[in-house]
Structure 1
Amino acid sequence: MNLRMHAHKANPAAYQTMMKLEETIKQMNGDPILFELVKIRASQINGCAFCVDMHTKDLRKLGESEERMSLIVVWRETPLFTEKERAALALTEAVTQISKDGVPQELYDEVRNHFSETEFISLIMAINVINSWNRIAISTGMFPGCYDK
């Protein structure tokens, strides 16, 4: 595998804008574990190995269990995730694959049972940001360890 380019070097202003957005979203989301679960699930759907690797490492640093991390991809099939996490993961899947079914009213209602309007928008923004990062990483050829060399 070859890294096509360093996005942060190719267009520093664009990269800094993404980093500012990332930091803003991070501050809005009070639960760092939930934030990382969302990032991992979107990255799994998008096939972004770089981001799955990065955010799994970040989640591990937050003390998350290996069992839960390995089961994010099949979160519906395990009782290890809270109802709030399940709602966020379902919304992550719907927004990441928005052209498939949109965000059905039933899902919206379930998410709103766990998140206020402000928190809902913060969650949507977090999902949008990781989807953007996935697209940047995949388009530029990023892969786990590509910056280690």
Structure 2
Amino acid sequence: MNPRLDYYSASPKAMKAMIAMEALTSNLSIEPALLHLIKIRASQLNGCAFCTDMHSVDARRLGETDRRLYSIVVWRDSGFFNARERAALAWTEAVTLLSESHVPDDVYAQAREQFSESEMVDLTIAVTTINSWNRLAVSFRQTPGD
């Protein structure tokens, strides 16, 4: 699969805004290791090989284990994730698949047990940011390793 275009050079102003959003997301209240888990899960749901690869590499650099990385796709059926991670992964799925679920009340309640109001906003901003990156990478066929 060949990339369709280089979106960084095609629209530098738009990409500057995306990069600023990413920088903001990285400096909010959600811990970096958890950020990578949600970025990987959203990227899996969106079929974004580029972002799934990139955030798996980044998560490993932070000490994440291969076993947990391989299990993100089946997080509900594994015992490898704590309550906070499970709540974040459920929230990530609901926000990413918005048209399917409209973010159910039980998913919100589960997340609120683990995250403060400000963390909920920060978590949601992180999920929406990775979804934006996924849409760029998938639409323009950015491949892993680029």
With normalisation by structure 2, the TM-score equals: 0.98
Give a deviation string over 1:64-86, Cα, whole Å, max 9, x none.
Answer: 00000000000001111010000
Supply the distance in 2 between the matched residues of 1:134 and 1:107 (Cα, whole angstroms): 23
- Supply the AA of the counterpart residue of 1:128: T
- What do the CA deviations read for 1:117-146 (whole angstroms, capped 9, x no partner)? 10000000000000000000011110112x
1:133 corresponds in structure 2 to 133
| More moved, 21-30 vs 10-19 | 21-30
1:119 has 2:119 as partner: yes
**Shift of residue 30, structure 1, vs aligned partner:** 3.8
In 1, Cα distance between the equivalents of 2:55 and 2:9? 22
Partner of 1:17: 17
Runs of 4+ in 1 over 4 A off after TM superposition: none
- Counterpart Cα distance in 2 of 1:67 and 1:122: 27
RMSD across aligned positions (CA): 0.7
Unaligned runs of 5+ in 2: none
TM-score calculated relative to the size of structure 1: 0.96
Pairing 1:75–2:75 present:
yes
Q: Distance in 1 between matches of 2:115 and 2:85?
A: 11
Deviation at 1:29, TM superposition (A): 3.2
Q: Which residue is 1:85 aligned to?
A: 85
SS at match of 1:21: helix
Percent identity between the two aligned chains: 48
CA distance in 2, matches of 1:61, 1:35: 13
Conserved? CA contact 1:29–1:35, under 8 Å: no
The reply to whether residue 64 of structure 1 matches residue 80 of structure 2 is no
The one-letter amino acid paired with 1:17 is A
AA in 2 matched with 1:67? R
Q: Distance in 1 between matches of 2:70 and 2:105?
A: 30
CA contact (8 A) 2:30 2:122 kept: no
Residues 50 and 144, structure 1, Cα contact 8 Å, conserved in 2: yes
